[in-house]
Amino acid sequence: MSTQCIACGMPMTEKEDHAQGDESKNYCKYCARPDGTMQSYEEKLESYTQFIMKTQNASQAEAGDIARLQMANLPAWTK
């Protein structure tokens, strides 16, 4: 069963992809804090911005804009 992380959109195809390997959690291991709770919007925005900078060779400003746009469409961050 494949689900999508509500906080970053990553496909979660394996048990290990879920936070703490718990398939009842609807967010991934990259969006979880060490205690298993989901990161706040600010925490996720920072880590997602860093990820985009690294993988897409974008400036911090560009990466932040991309991260905000993508996160705006994800269930965890929509109102």
79 or 51: whose pLDDT is higher? 51
Distance of alpha carbon 23 from alpha carbon 39, whole angstroms: 17
Residue-range domain boundaries for the chain: 3-77
Q: What confidence tens digit (pLDDT) does each residue in 1-51 have?
A: 569 999 999 999 999 999 999 999 999 999 999 999 999 999 999 999 999
* Band of pLDDT at residue 76, cut at 50, 70 and 90: very high
Helix axes 60-71, 41-56, angle to 10 degrees: 120
pLDDT of residue 1: 54
Count of all residues that appear for the chain in the document: 79
